[in-house]
Amino acid sequence: LSTPRTTTTVDTIELTVRALRALAGPFAGLSGADFCQAICRHIVEQLELDCVFVGLYASDTEEVHSYAGWDGQGAMQPFSYALADTPCEHVVGREYATYPDSVQQRFPNDLMLVEMGLEAYVGAPLFDRKGRPLGIVVALATQALATDHPVATLLPLFVETISAEIQRSRAEQELRQQEAWLRKTEAGYRALFDSLHETVYVQQADGRFITVNQGAERMYGYPRDWFIGKGPADLAAPGRNDLEALQRIYSRVLDGQPQTFEFWGRRADGSEFPKEVRAYRGIWYGDEVIFALAIDISDKKAHQQQLEYAARYDILTGLPNRVLLAEYMAQTLDGCREAQRQLAVAYIDLDGFKAINDHHGHEVGDHLLVAVARRMQRAVDKDDLVARLGGDEFVAVLATSSAERLDPRLDRLLQAASAPIVLGELTLHVSASIGVTTCACTHDPSDPDQLLRRADQAMYQAKLDGKNRIHLFDDALEQDILLRHENRTRLREALEHDEFELHYQPKVNMHSGAVIGAEALIRWRHPERGLLSPAAFLPDIEGQPLDIELGEWVIDRALRQTRQWREAGLELPVSVNISGHHLEQPDFIERLRARIEAEPDYQPGQLELEILESTALGEIGRTSSVIQAGRALGVAFALDDFGTGYSSLTYLKRLPAQVLKIDQSFVRDMLEDPDDLAILEGVIGLADAFRRHTIAEGVETLEHGQLLLQLGCEQAQGYGIARPMPADAIPGWIASWQPAPLWLEARPLNHEDLPILYAGVEHRAWIKAIEQHLSGAQSDPPPLDPHQCRFGRWLDQARSDRRLSQSPTLRLIDALHEQVHAEADRLLAEPRSDRVIGEHLGPLYQLRDRLLGELESLRR
């Protein structure tokens, strides 16, 4: 056993002073482990101990890691040990543990004590500010220590300082770690900030940039620093942005309403581009700022433009379409008015295009349209516009100062359409109907719709006139259209106010004298203009709904009239004229049936419908089934104005109408026109062959009637019999009417007498030609040689006819004929003047009538 060393109290004081000096002096510059090691060394050396170290608990206080230490040789290598079965175990949570001697014997399991050959142990606990165990300070000696050894005094002197320093350095370390981490994350955010596809700006309330991301560099081509302190005005494409509006946008953003807007930027290289910006309010290092995200929308704009293009151009031909046409016209019309130039609008519709489409298919049709479109575009000036409205309709807008400058272009347009088009093996032909109007023509020159409508109307007229032509719109036509419109309104009122009435024209059998019916003819008793005939108002409602209403009104009135006549003891069928449009109505028969069924005591044939021959031919299948259905209802049918519609035999066979009503134009002229006579004869023969009745209209004179009777047509209607009259005049007229004695005598001619009839008409025709030549209505006179005129030729023939050659009448006729020609020669030789002709024609007519009289007796 070793004797404990002793130290005096003076030593202790001295030691304390030294320790304090060391702490204030050389140790003050140290920190952390260095500081602690300096203290350990100080204690070892001052107290002649073997080893002093500072150990820190691991988190669970079951293990200690050396933090700093000093033994006789120098700084200790770092080491760790478990607390169990060591004197240190007793330090944890306690004040001090002091074992001045025999520490090995006390802790036989602590191998470190044995290894180092230790005899004495002093341990002091370290606590943090909150009193939690931090670690220990341990002093060791290989010799036993005296009980008053100064280590007990000196150690506590350092314990506080060591604790404080350890905590401070730990805090500092934590801070440093935190800083490192912060640095790392900030770099992350910045990378994120820069890698965004969008350009990001952080802006002050006035828009100036606080910072921007790399996207801004990419977008504008300026380095990032360039932006700082600049504002949107520095980025704006000149003249393309409203910067004042932008300030208003920013203030809305700062009010908390995120905003999206477009902005035209200008890059460092001067190029301009559109971008879309979304701006939000945000906080940046404590300040209220604007966060703005922008993307380049050049592509989107281009796409938009593409869409706009598609909306304005025709896909097939590439020509402007209806939309662009309207825009262009609106603009150009304004321009034209200012420049006092004229604008012509040509409405172009291809003729015969449908047939090509039908025969060759749509693909060929499309090719043709493209070809024509190209040609037309070349046909106009570069300031003109050709647009496609759709289908085979185009519009050209031509600027011009005069009609002369316009004409060649219009002609070229016409040619562009009509020149043949070669597609592979095919050579196609179409033409165009072009309607033209100019802005000078309209009442409101700035209304494009009006112009187009007028051009369209003119085009329609070009079609009617025979196609492949140009028709200029004229104002009179327009006036007419307006008037028709007004008239229609007025006509509807007339129907409502019951201003229409029916007049009736008797139809008779000239041979028997029987009155066989009456034709109902509409009249308008106009409050100011008096009684108007149908020609004055029917054309205005043709094809209109009013046409049908009026037609039904007529049927209704006519049926009521027949009922009233029957009640008065008169059985008289009535004929009603039916317009084509009315007849075409799908429910025509249904409505007719309803009306007939509503008529008490309806007799078959009481109602006859007159259908224009031309209408009936239009849709012959339909018309014939309407006629059939109507006949089943007991309604009779007549083909009106027969002879003007050019019915062929086959057509006539298919139209089950009982009556052919011979048009008055043939009747009127049959006395003087051998062609009309021939038609009349033909129609009557045709009707006979098909077992139809004929009735002649327009019988104005006894001679008309006589001739018709001679041809075998007994039924007639006309001024020569009676004019149309109010219904209540009919019974009185019937009671008093008597056919002319001439008609009662008249008989159908023998076949061989027909040439004589024609000869008479030829002669009348010749006289009429002389008369017309004298009055100047006809430039050439008829043949003046008595053997050259048609009558003369017939006469020459008749002289060789066995039956006639011996007739004294023929010789008389021959002489009269010579006289007629001589008289005509004399008249032609005289100086012409109306007065002279009037005086001198009398003898000619007398000769004619004598001749015709003799001719008639030749027949008998």
Minimum distance from CB of 720 to ligand C2E (Å)? 6
Angle at 422 (CA atoms; ends 419, 425), nearest 5 degrees: 150
Nearer to ligand C2E, 519 or 681 (CB): 519
For Ca ion, the binding residues in 46-105 under the rule CB under 5 A are none
Distances (CA, A) of 10 to 13, 17, 19, 45: 5, 11, 14, 17
Cα distance between residue 596 and residue 633, in whole Å: 8
Instruction: Report in angstroms how near the CB of residue 346 gets to ligand C2E at its nearest.
Output: 37
- With CB under 5 to 8 Å by kind, the binding choice for 534 among ligand C2E, Ca ion, none is ligand C2E
Nearest distance from residue 698's CB to ligand C2E, in Å? 4
Cα separation, 20 vs 299, in Å, equals: 79
The reply on whether position 640 binds ligand C2E by CB under 6 A is yes
Phi and psi at residue 731, to the nearest 5°: -55, -40
Is residue 698 near ligand C2E by the rule CB under 6 A? yes
- How far is it, in rounded angstroms, from Cα 673 to Cα 758? 9
Q: How far apart are CA 241 and CA 248, in angstroms?
A: 13
Partner whose footprint covers residue 554, from Ca ion, ligand C2E, none (CB < 5 to 8 Å by kind): ligand C2E
577 binds Ca ion (CB under 5 A): yes
- Please report which residue ranges of 283-361 form alpha helices under DSSP H: 298-312, 322-339, 353-360
CB of 421 to ligand C2E, least distance (A): 45
Minimum distance of ligand C2E from residue 734's CB (angstroms): 17
Closer to ligand C2E by Cβ: residue 450 or 664? 664
Region near Ca ion per CB under 5 A, out of 586-594, 607-615, 732-740, 837-845: 607-615
Q: How far apart are CA 192 and CA 210, in angstroms?
A: 18
Which of these ranges, 108-116, 405-413, 603-611, 626-634, lies near Ca ion under the rule CB under 5 A? 603-611
Stretch of 389-397, 413-421, 443-451, 530-538 lying at the interface with ligand C2E (CB under 6 A):
530-538
- Considering the rule CB under 5 A, would residue 641 count as an interface residue with Ca ion? yes
Whether 132 and 17 have beta carbons less than 8 Å apart is answered as: no
Is residue 540 a contact point for ligand C2E (CB under 6 A)? no
Q: Looking up tokens 């009106």, which residue turns up?
A: 640
Residue 472 contact, options Ca ion, ligand C2E, none, Cβ 5-8 Å cut-off depending on partner type: none
> Within 13 A of 715's CA, how many CA atoms are on the CB side?
17
562 binds ligand C2E (CB under 6 A): no
What residue 719 binds from Ca ion, ligand C2E, none (CB within 5 to 8 A, per partner kind)?
A: ligand C2E
Q: How many Å apart are CA 281 and CA 257, to the nearest integer?
A: 8
> Which residues are 576's β-sheet partners?
520, 609
Residue type, 446: S
Count residues near ligand C2E (CB under 6 A): 24
In whole angstroms, the minimum distance from the beta carbon of 553 to ligand C2E comes to: 9
Q: 478, 610, 673, 762: which one contacts Ca ion (CB under 5 A)? A: 610
According to CB under 6 A, which residues from 442 to 471 bind ligand C2E?
A: none
Shortest distance (Å) from residue 706 CB to ligand C2E:
15
Q: Residue 467 or 591: which CB sits closer to ligand C2E?
A: 591
Q: At closest approach, how far in Å is the CB of 669 from ligand C2E?
A: 12
Q: How far is CA 229 from CA 215, 218, 250, 254, 577, in A?
A: 17, 18, 17, 19, 92
CB of 833 to ligand C2E, least distance (A): 31
Cα separation, 139 vs 164, whole angstroms? 19
**561 contacts ligand C2E (rule: CB under 6 A):** no
Name which of ligand C2E, Ca ion, none residue 156 binds, using a CB cut-off of 5 to 8 Å depending on partner kind: none
| Structure token digits, residue 440 | 């000078």
- DSSP string covering 608-673, please? EEEEEHHHHHHTHHHHHHHHHHHHHTT-EEEEEEETSS---HHHHHH---SEEEE-HHHHHHTTT-
Site residues for ligand C2E, window 708-767 (CB under 6 A)?
Answer: 717-719, 724
Whichever of 100 and 724 has its CB closer to ligand C2E, that residue is 724
- The minimum distance between CB 639 and Ca ion, in angstroms, equals 10
Helix H or strand E segment including 745: helix 741-745
> Which residues from 660-679 bind ligand C2E, rule CB under 6 A?
664
Query: Using the rule CB under 5 A, is 119 a contact of Ca ion?
Result: no
Residue at 267: amino acid letter? R
Exposure of 505 by Cβ count < 10 A (0-12 exposed, 13-18 middle, 19+ buried)? buried
Q: Residue 657 Cβ, how far from ligand C2E at the closest point, in Å?
A: 14
The residue range among 172-180, 609-617, 678-686, 846-854 that interacts with Ca ion, by the rule CB under 5 A, is: 609-617
Q: Is the dihedral of CA 754, 759, 760, 766 positive or negative?
A: positive
**Distance (Å, rounded) from C-alpha 461 to C-alpha 467?**
9
CB closer to Ca ion out of 562 and 577: 577
Residue among 400 and 579 whose Cβ is closer to ligand C2E: 579
Residue 608 near Ca ion by CB under 5 A: no
Residue placing its CB nearer to ligand C2E in the complex, 117 or 539: 539
Closest CA relative to residue 424, chosen from 356, 364, 350: 364
The 599-638 site mask, x for binding ligand C2E (CB under 6 A), equals -----------x----------------------------
Which is nearer to Ca ion, 23 or 683 (by Cβ)? 683
Which neighbouring-strand residues pair with 349? 393, 433
Report the distance separating Cα 858 and Cα 330, nearest Å: 79
- For residue 197, give every residue at least 6 positions away whose Cβ sits within 8 Å of its Cβ, in sequence order, or none: 215, 295
Residue 356, helix vs strand vs coil:
helix
One DSSP character per residue, 565-611 reads HHHTT----EEEEE-HHHHH-TTHHHHHHHHHHTSTTPPTTSEEEEE
Q: Which of 325, 521, 635, 638 binds ligand C2E (CB under 6 A)?
A: 521
Site string for ligand C2E, 278-297 (x = CB under 6 A): --------------------
The option from ligand C2E, Ca ion, none interacting with 535 (CB < 5 to 8 A, set by class) reads ligand C2E
Q: Which helix (H) or strand (E) holds 373?
A: helix 362-379
Interface with ligand C2E includes 213 (CB under 6 A)?
A: no
Contacts with ligand C2E, 252-271, as mask; x by CB under 6 A: --------------------
Of the ranges 143-151, 208-216, 677-685, 693-701, which one interacts with ligand C2E (CB under 6 A)? 693-701
Dihedral sign for Cα atoms in the order 320, 321, 326, 327: negative
Stretch that binds ligand C2E, among 52-60, 449-457, 694-702, 775-783 (CB under 6 A): 694-702
In terms of CB distance, is 121 or 524 closer to Ca ion?
524
Cβ atoms < 10 Å from Cβ of 779:
7
Q: Which of the listed partners (ligand C2E, Ca ion, none) does 533 bind, with a CB threshold of 5 to 8 Å by partner kind? A: ligand C2E
Contacts for 19-23: CB closer than 8 Å, 24+ residues apart = 19/46, 19/154, 19/157, 19/158, 20/157, 23/158, 23/161
Phi, psi (degrees; rounded to nearest 5) at 20: -60, -40
Q: Which residues bind ligand C2E (CB under 6 A)?
A: 505, 520-522, 533-535, 538, 551, 554, 577, 579, 610, 640-641, 664, 697-700, 717-719, 724
Which chain residues interact with Ca ion by CB under 5 A? 577, 610, 640-641
